Chain A
């Protein structure tokens, strides 16, 4: 399997929407 590591997640808002079974990425999530 591939693994999406935290270097590539930094500064994005990473959303785990379990109810709707989806994962989201929002740019500039920390600012």
Chain B
């Protein structure tokens, strides 16, 4: 329910997600994979009672953001003991250490193909699944991928360009060993390999022959029961790059609202007619990230008073795996002030992890929430739906779904 473009009027009973899956297929172009949230009722990985709490999700989100900040801060952080303890001193091409993403897709690997549920992540490059034989694998949703059962599997030799690009510096019995250490200390090690990747429902026209991926045999951390992870970053080894010759450069996705729909991940760059574009920015020190220029914010239709330089100087990364958008301190303060000023009628609630502007909607039938829009270089505007404005942990704790990066002079 809406009340003009500047406000969201929402029934309080609809604030929390449905407890059951109501699959609504997303519309997309060809070679699209269905996307569901890892912890939503539509997820095949959902473990009843085993999902993390809201506070845990947000704490993990901060681990990922800390990792992105360390990477983009450049070599000056290399002497920081905290940085070293998280493994970010590893060469960048050893894997982009950014933790797991929150959305999953199903992919087919090998010949005959076997289906695997993997998280997808625009903040990292190398794709991997757990493989047999495995020294130390966590419990996953499907049986392990068995290279010996695939007629198209081959190990990547140490001298291959794909191995040299990884800079893993490890070679065993002529096989290339890879390692990715993520920002939350999750880790995968294994052999770099090639096999046929099938995208979509099993048609040979949607196959990538010789897809390079990691065959993990020593994996620990916060991967849940996912069978692996697929990277969509900008490096040559990512799924997006390897699929470019077949589908064209670029890709698109729609992340579903958490419970009642499925989204999609589609390779190739076809865009919906209503899409608004902004420039994709590249930084040589972190070439795997997709940067763009956020230049302003509107609350209830009015531009928040922040100089565009506050956004432009540090820059902005778009990431499918970070949950909460992080803003420069001055921008967040201005957003919070505007938002809170328009929410004065509601009782405040305690902070939730990194979210400090929370409200208690107990006893109310409807709430009226100011809209938030993000403005990008070139005029593209992201008019956020209600779900992008408030993070609703419970009726008594609904929080502005933005956070500060902390001291933006640091």
- When distances are taken between beta carbons in the complex, the residues of chain B under 8 Å from A12 are 254-255, 382
- When distances are taken between beta carbons in the complex, the residues of chain A under 8 Å from B47 are none
A19→B249 contact, CB < 8 A: yes
- When distances are taken between beta carbons in the complex, the residues of chain A under 8 Å from B311 are 2
- When distances are taken between beta carbons in the complex, the residues of chain B under 8 Å from A26 are 271-276
CB < 8 Å: which of B68, B276, B401 contacts A25?
B276
* Complex CA–CA separation, A27 to B320 (angstroms): 17
CB < 8 Å: which of B26, B103, B252, B374 contacts A8?
B374
A4→B254 contact, CB < 8 A: no
A6→B314 contact, CB < 8 A: no
A1→B316 contact, CB < 8 A: yes
* Complex CA–CA separation, A29 to B272 (angstroms): 8
**Count of interface residues, chain A, beta-carbon cutoff 8 Å:** 31
- When distances are taken between beta carbons in the complex, the residues of chain B under 8 Å from A14 are 252-255, 318
Is B102's CB within 8 Å of the partner chain A?
yes
Q: Which of B223-243 contact A (CB under 8 A)?
A: 232, 234, 240
* Complex CA–CA separation, A10 to B257 (angstroms): 6
Is B264's CB within 8 Å of the partner chain A?
yes
B261→A30 contact, CB < 8 A: yes
Which of these binds chain A: B6-14, B142-150, B164-172, B322-330? B322-330
* Complex CA–CA separation, A20 to B257 (angstroms): 29
Residue of chain B at shortest CB distance from A7 = B401
* Complex CA–CA separation, A22 to B374 (angstroms): 16
- When distances are taken between beta carbons in the complex, the residues of chain B under 8 Å from A10 are 255-258, 385, 387-388
CB distance from A14 to the nearest CB of B (A): 6
* Complex CA–CA separation, A11 to B317 (angstroms): 19
* Complex CA–CA separation, A6 to B324 (angstroms): 7
Which of these binds chain A: B85-93, B129-137, B181-189, B277-285? B277-285
Binding site for A on B (CB under 8 A): 24, 26-27, 61, 65, 68-69, 72, 102-103, 122, 232, 234, 240, 244, 248-258, 261-264, 269-280, 282, 290-292, 294, 311, 314-328, 331, 374, 380, 382-385, 387-388, 391, 401, 405
- Cross-chain pairs A/B with CB under 8 angstroms, 12 sampled: A2-B325, A2-B328, A3-B317, A4-B294, A4-B319, A8-B388, A11-B257, A13-B271, A20-B269, A22-B277, A22-B279, A30-B257
